[in-house]
Copies of this chain bind each other. A is one copy, B any other.
Amino acid sequence: MHGARAGALRWCLLGCGWLIVGAAMAAGNTPTLAETLAGSTAAEWRAVDPDQTLYMDLPQGRVVIELAPRFAPLHVANIRALVREKYFDGLAILRAQDNFVVQWGDPDDMRPLGRAQAELDAEFTVPLDTTPFVRLPDRDGYAPQVGFSDGFAAARDPRAKQQWLIHCYGAIGVARGNDPRSGNGSSLYAVIGQAPRQLDRNIAVVGRVLRGMELLSTRPRGSGAMGFYEQPAERLSITAVRFASELPEAERLRLQVLRSDSRSFATLLEARRNRHDEWMRNPPGFLEVCNVPVPGRLAP
Protein backbone atom coordinates (compact mmCIF):
# COMPACT_ATOMS: atom_id res chain seq x y z
CA MET A 1 0.00 0.00 0.00
CA HIS A 2 2.72 2.35 0.92
CA GLY A 3 4.54 1.65 -2.31
CA ALA A 4 1.50 2.02 -4.47
CA ARG A 5 0.35 5.21 -2.81
CA ALA A 6 3.37 7.30 -2.20
CA GLY A 7 5.81 6.11 -4.79
CA ALA A 8 5.59 8.39 -7.76
CA LEU A 9 4.70 11.37 -5.63
CA ARG A 10 7.47 11.07 -3.13
CA TRP A 11 9.99 10.67 -5.90
CA CYS A 12 9.01 13.60 -7.95
CA LEU A 13 9.26 15.70 -4.77
CA LEU A 14 10.83 19.09 -4.73
CA GLY A 15 8.28 20.23 -7.19
CA CYS A 16 6.42 17.74 -9.23
CA GLY A 17 4.83 20.69 -10.97
CA TRP A 18 7.99 21.61 -12.84
CA LEU A 19 7.73 18.45 -14.83
CA ILE A 20 4.10 18.38 -15.72
CA VAL A 21 3.61 20.48 -18.80
CA GLY A 22 0.17 21.71 -19.62
CA ALA A 23 -2.04 20.53 -16.82
CA ALA A 24 -0.79 23.10 -14.33
CA MET A 25 -1.49 26.14 -16.47
CA ALA A 26 -4.96 24.87 -17.19
CA ALA A 27 -5.56 24.71 -13.44
CA GLY A 28 -4.48 28.33 -13.00
CA ASN A 29 -1.15 27.39 -11.48
CA THR A 30 2.09 29.28 -11.93
CA PRO A 31 3.62 28.27 -15.26
CA THR A 32 6.47 25.83 -14.90
CA LEU A 33 9.89 26.47 -16.34
CA ALA A 34 9.16 23.96 -19.10
CA GLU A 35 5.88 25.67 -19.90
CA THR A 36 7.47 29.10 -19.96
CA LEU A 37 10.24 27.98 -22.29
CA ALA A 38 7.83 26.08 -24.50
CA GLY A 39 5.89 29.30 -24.92
CA SER A 40 8.90 31.49 -25.65
CA THR A 41 9.38 33.11 -29.04
CA ALA A 42 12.50 32.92 -31.19
CA ALA A 43 13.14 36.63 -30.61
CA GLU A 44 13.45 36.04 -26.89
CA TRP A 45 16.66 34.07 -27.39
CA ARG A 46 20.10 35.53 -28.00
CA ALA A 47 22.66 33.64 -30.04
CA VAL A 48 25.89 33.26 -28.09
CA ASP A 49 28.81 34.87 -29.92
CA PRO A 50 31.32 32.18 -30.98
CA ASP A 51 34.05 34.75 -30.52
CA GLN A 52 33.15 35.07 -26.84
CA THR A 53 32.70 31.35 -26.28
CA LEU A 54 35.40 29.10 -24.87
CA TYR A 55 35.43 25.35 -25.27
CA MET A 56 37.49 23.73 -22.53
CA ASP A 57 37.91 20.12 -23.53
CA LEU A 58 38.54 17.66 -20.73
CA PRO A 59 38.99 13.90 -21.16
CA GLN A 60 35.37 13.44 -20.01
CA GLY A 61 33.82 16.09 -22.18
CA ARG A 62 33.49 19.75 -23.01
CA VAL A 63 32.92 22.71 -20.72
CA VAL A 64 31.44 25.70 -22.56
CA ILE A 65 32.11 29.13 -21.11
CA GLU A 66 30.63 32.42 -22.25
CA LEU A 67 32.92 35.37 -21.65
CA ALA A 68 31.65 38.81 -20.67
CA PRO A 69 34.03 41.35 -22.21
CA ARG A 70 31.89 44.30 -21.12
CA PHE A 71 32.61 43.47 -17.51
CA ALA A 72 36.34 42.70 -17.78
CA PRO A 73 37.65 43.87 -21.16
CA LEU A 74 41.35 43.67 -20.30
CA HIS A 75 41.08 40.25 -18.74
CA VAL A 76 39.02 38.83 -21.57
CA ALA A 77 41.53 40.20 -24.07
CA ASN A 78 44.35 38.59 -22.12
CA ILE A 79 42.55 35.26 -21.97
CA ARG A 80 42.03 35.58 -25.71
CA ALA A 81 45.77 36.03 -26.23
CA LEU A 82 46.49 33.00 -24.05
CA VAL A 83 43.96 30.78 -25.82
CA ARG A 84 45.17 31.79 -29.28
CA GLU A 85 48.63 30.60 -28.28
CA LYS A 86 47.14 27.36 -26.93
CA TYR A 87 48.38 28.30 -23.47
CA PHE A 88 45.95 26.03 -21.60
CA ASP A 89 46.47 22.89 -23.69
CA GLY A 90 48.01 20.23 -21.48
CA LEU A 91 47.66 22.28 -18.30
CA ALA A 92 45.47 20.93 -15.53
CA ILE A 93 42.70 21.25 -13.03
CA LEU A 94 44.69 21.94 -9.90
CA ARG A 95 42.15 22.27 -7.18
CA ALA A 96 38.62 21.36 -6.16
CA GLN A 97 37.41 22.71 -2.85
CA ASP A 98 33.99 21.52 -1.77
CA ASN A 99 31.29 24.20 -1.70
CA PHE A 100 33.71 26.72 -3.17
CA VAL A 101 35.68 26.51 -6.44
CA VAL A 102 37.42 24.34 -9.01
CA GLN A 103 40.56 26.02 -10.35
CA TRP A 104 42.82 25.32 -13.30
CA GLY A 105 46.11 26.56 -14.68
CA ASP A 106 49.79 25.69 -14.87
CA PRO A 107 50.83 23.37 -12.04
CA ASP A 108 54.45 24.42 -12.45
CA ASP A 109 53.66 28.05 -13.22
CA MET A 110 56.44 28.03 -15.78
CA ARG A 111 54.71 28.19 -19.13
CA PRO A 112 55.48 31.47 -20.91
CA LEU A 113 52.54 33.82 -21.33
CA GLY A 114 53.56 34.74 -24.86
CA ARG A 115 51.80 37.87 -26.04
CA ALA A 116 49.59 37.96 -22.97
CA GLN A 117 50.31 40.40 -20.15
CA ALA A 118 51.59 39.15 -16.80
CA GLU A 119 49.88 41.99 -14.96
CA LEU A 120 46.64 43.78 -15.69
CA ASP A 121 44.79 46.69 -14.22
CA ALA A 122 42.23 45.34 -11.79
CA GLU A 123 38.72 44.93 -13.18
CA PHE A 124 36.89 44.05 -10.00
CA THR A 125 34.30 46.57 -11.09
CA VAL A 126 33.88 48.54 -14.30
CA PRO A 127 32.20 51.90 -14.92
CA LEU A 128 28.45 51.90 -15.38
CA ASP A 129 27.76 52.28 -19.05
CA THR A 130 25.16 51.31 -21.53
CA THR A 131 25.34 47.63 -20.69
CA PRO A 132 21.80 46.24 -20.64
CA PHE A 133 20.59 45.52 -17.14
CA VAL A 134 17.34 44.04 -15.96
CA ARG A 135 17.09 44.87 -12.31
CA LEU A 136 15.47 42.57 -9.78
CA PRO A 137 13.06 44.30 -7.42
CA ASP A 138 14.36 42.02 -4.67
CA ARG A 139 16.69 43.55 -2.14
CA ASP A 140 20.25 42.22 -2.01
CA GLY A 141 22.57 42.39 0.97
CA TYR A 142 25.82 42.58 -0.95
CA ALA A 143 25.03 45.23 -3.56
CA PRO A 144 22.73 48.22 -3.99
CA GLN A 145 21.20 46.73 -7.15
CA VAL A 146 21.26 43.23 -8.62
CA GLY A 147 19.88 41.78 -11.80
CA PHE A 148 20.85 40.32 -15.13
CA SER A 149 22.86 41.59 -18.04
CA ASP A 150 22.71 39.42 -21.13
CA GLY A 151 22.21 36.37 -18.92
CA PHE A 152 24.99 37.23 -16.48
CA ALA A 153 24.06 37.90 -12.87
CA ALA A 154 25.31 41.42 -12.25
CA ALA A 155 25.32 44.15 -9.64
CA ARG A 156 25.33 47.93 -9.80
CA ASP A 157 26.19 50.76 -7.52
CA PRO A 158 24.72 53.90 -9.05
CA ARG A 159 26.36 56.18 -6.50
CA ALA A 160 29.81 54.78 -7.21
CA LYS A 161 28.87 54.53 -10.89
CA GLN A 162 30.23 50.98 -10.98
CA GLN A 163 28.95 47.59 -12.08
CA TRP A 164 30.31 44.08 -11.68
CA LEU A 165 29.49 40.44 -12.23
CA ILE A 166 28.29 38.36 -9.29
CA HIS A 167 29.92 35.15 -8.05
CA CYS A 168 26.94 32.85 -8.60
CA TYR A 169 27.21 29.11 -9.18
CA GLY A 170 29.06 28.58 -12.47
CA ALA A 171 30.71 32.00 -12.53
CA ILE A 172 34.26 32.05 -13.91
CA GLY A 173 36.81 34.23 -12.14
CA VAL A 174 40.45 35.15 -12.54
CA ALA A 175 42.71 33.82 -9.80
CA ARG A 176 45.03 36.37 -8.29
CA GLY A 177 47.50 36.90 -5.47
CA ASN A 178 47.48 39.74 -2.98
CA ASP A 179 48.46 42.23 -5.65
CA PRO A 180 45.22 43.33 -7.36
CA ARG A 181 47.15 43.46 -10.64
CA SER A 182 48.42 39.89 -10.35
CA GLY A 183 45.42 38.21 -11.94
CA ASN A 184 46.06 37.75 -15.65
CA GLY A 185 43.74 34.94 -16.68
CA SER A 186 46.34 32.20 -16.81
CA SER A 187 44.60 30.58 -13.85
CA LEU A 188 40.81 30.55 -13.72
CA TYR A 189 38.22 29.13 -11.35
CA ALA A 190 34.56 28.18 -11.47
CA VAL A 191 32.20 28.51 -8.51
CA ILE A 192 30.83 25.07 -7.53
CA GLY A 193 28.94 25.85 -4.32
CA GLN A 194 27.07 28.53 -2.44
CA ALA A 195 27.72 31.88 -4.09
CA PRO A 196 30.90 33.25 -2.45
CA ARG A 197 29.64 36.80 -2.63
CA GLN A 198 32.49 38.07 -0.46
CA LEU A 199 34.65 37.71 -3.59
CA ASP A 200 32.47 40.17 -5.51
CA ARG A 201 34.42 43.37 -6.25
CA ASN A 202 37.60 41.61 -5.15
CA ILE A 203 38.30 39.54 -8.24
CA ALA A 204 37.60 39.93 -11.92
CA VAL A 205 34.69 37.73 -12.99
CA VAL A 206 35.02 37.10 -16.70
CA GLY A 207 32.17 34.80 -17.65
CA ARG A 208 30.03 31.82 -16.76
CA VAL A 209 29.66 28.17 -17.63
CA LEU A 210 26.89 27.51 -20.17
CA ARG A 211 27.29 23.74 -20.50
CA GLY A 212 29.31 20.96 -18.93
CA MET A 213 29.19 22.40 -15.44
CA GLU A 214 28.90 18.89 -14.03
CA LEU A 215 32.36 18.09 -15.42
CA LEU A 216 33.74 20.64 -12.98
CA SER A 217 31.35 20.28 -10.06
CA THR A 218 31.92 16.54 -9.71
CA ARG A 219 35.72 16.70 -9.69
CA PRO A 220 37.09 14.80 -6.70
CA ARG A 221 37.87 17.28 -3.94
CA GLY A 222 41.58 17.77 -3.27
CA SER A 223 42.92 16.77 0.11
CA GLY A 224 45.45 19.60 0.33
CA ALA A 225 44.86 23.02 1.82
CA MET A 226 42.05 24.82 -0.04
CA GLY A 227 41.32 21.68 -2.03
CA PHE A 228 44.57 21.61 -3.98
CA TYR A 229 45.54 18.19 -5.28
CA GLU A 230 48.58 17.00 -3.40
CA GLN A 231 49.70 14.45 -5.97
CA PRO A 232 50.25 15.37 -9.61
CA ALA A 233 48.35 12.23 -10.62
CA GLU A 234 45.20 13.63 -9.00
CA ARG A 235 45.13 16.55 -11.40
CA LEU A 236 42.99 16.34 -14.49
CA SER A 237 44.74 17.29 -17.70
CA ILE A 238 43.09 19.86 -19.95
CA THR A 239 43.03 18.55 -23.50
CA ALA A 240 42.59 21.94 -25.15
CA VAL A 241 40.94 25.32 -24.77
CA ARG A 242 39.66 27.01 -27.93
CA PHE A 243 37.34 29.79 -28.92
CA ALA A 244 34.29 28.43 -30.69
CA SER A 245 35.19 30.81 -33.51
CA GLU A 246 38.45 28.94 -34.03
CA LEU A 247 36.53 25.82 -35.01
CA PRO A 248 34.89 25.25 -38.38
CA GLU A 249 31.32 26.45 -38.25
CA ALA A 250 29.95 22.93 -38.55
CA GLU A 251 31.74 21.92 -35.37
CA ARG A 252 30.41 24.74 -33.22
CA LEU A 253 27.52 24.41 -30.83
CA ARG A 254 24.80 26.86 -31.84
CA LEU A 255 23.98 27.96 -28.31
CA GLN A 256 21.35 30.45 -27.29
CA VAL A 257 20.61 32.14 -23.97
CA LEU A 258 17.19 33.39 -22.95
CA ARG A 259 17.33 37.18 -23.12
CA SER A 260 17.36 38.87 -19.73
CA ASP A 261 14.92 41.50 -21.00
CA SER A 262 12.48 38.97 -22.44
CA ARG A 263 8.96 38.44 -21.23
CA SER A 264 9.65 34.74 -20.73
CA PHE A 265 12.56 35.48 -18.41
CA ALA A 266 10.35 37.85 -16.42
CA THR A 267 7.76 35.08 -16.17
CA LEU A 268 10.42 32.67 -14.98
CA LEU A 269 11.62 35.11 -12.31
CA GLU A 270 8.14 35.72 -11.01
CA ALA A 271 7.42 31.98 -10.99
CA ARG A 272 10.41 31.42 -8.76
CA ARG A 273 9.47 34.30 -6.52
CA ASN A 274 5.79 33.42 -6.18
CA ARG A 275 5.04 29.92 -7.27
CA HIS A 276 1.53 28.64 -6.84
CA ASP A 277 0.79 25.00 -7.55
CA GLU A 278 -0.18 21.79 -5.87
CA TRP A 279 3.21 21.28 -4.31
CA MET A 280 4.22 24.70 -3.01
CA ARG A 281 2.71 25.59 0.35
CA ASN A 282 4.61 28.76 1.23
CA PRO A 283 5.83 30.67 -1.82
CA PRO A 284 8.87 32.65 -0.73
CA GLY A 285 7.76 35.98 -2.16
CA PHE A 286 11.40 36.79 -2.68
CA LEU A 287 14.12 35.91 -5.16
CA GLU A 288 17.84 35.85 -4.54
CA VAL A 289 19.86 36.72 -7.62
CA CYS A 290 22.00 33.57 -7.52
CA ASN A 291 18.94 31.37 -7.09
CA VAL A 292 17.87 31.90 -10.69
CA PRO A 293 18.49 29.44 -13.51
CA VAL A 294 19.31 31.35 -16.71
CA PRO A 295 18.06 29.09 -19.48
CA GLY A 296 20.22 28.16 -22.41
CA ARG A 297 19.56 25.85 -25.33
CA LEU A 298 20.79 24.66 -28.67
CA ALA A 299 19.31 26.68 -31.49
CA PRO A 300 16.16 24.88 -32.67
Contacts and interface: CB of A to CB of B under 8 A. Distances in A.
Interface string A3-15: 1011111111110
Contacts of A199: 14
A23 interface: no
What copy number does this chain have within its complex?
Answer: 2
Given A138-B141, A275-B198, A284-B142, A217 B10 contact: no
Interface in A142-175: 142, 168-170, 175
A296 interface: no
A115 interface: no
A56 to B, nearest CB: 17
A98 B141 contact: no
Nearest to A199: B14
Interface in A234-285: 272, 275, 278-284
A109 B13 CA distance: 14
Contact of A13 (B112, B187, B214, B219): B187
Contacts of A221: 214, 217-218
A141 B182 contact: no
B10 A280 contact: no
A193 B209 CA distance: 15
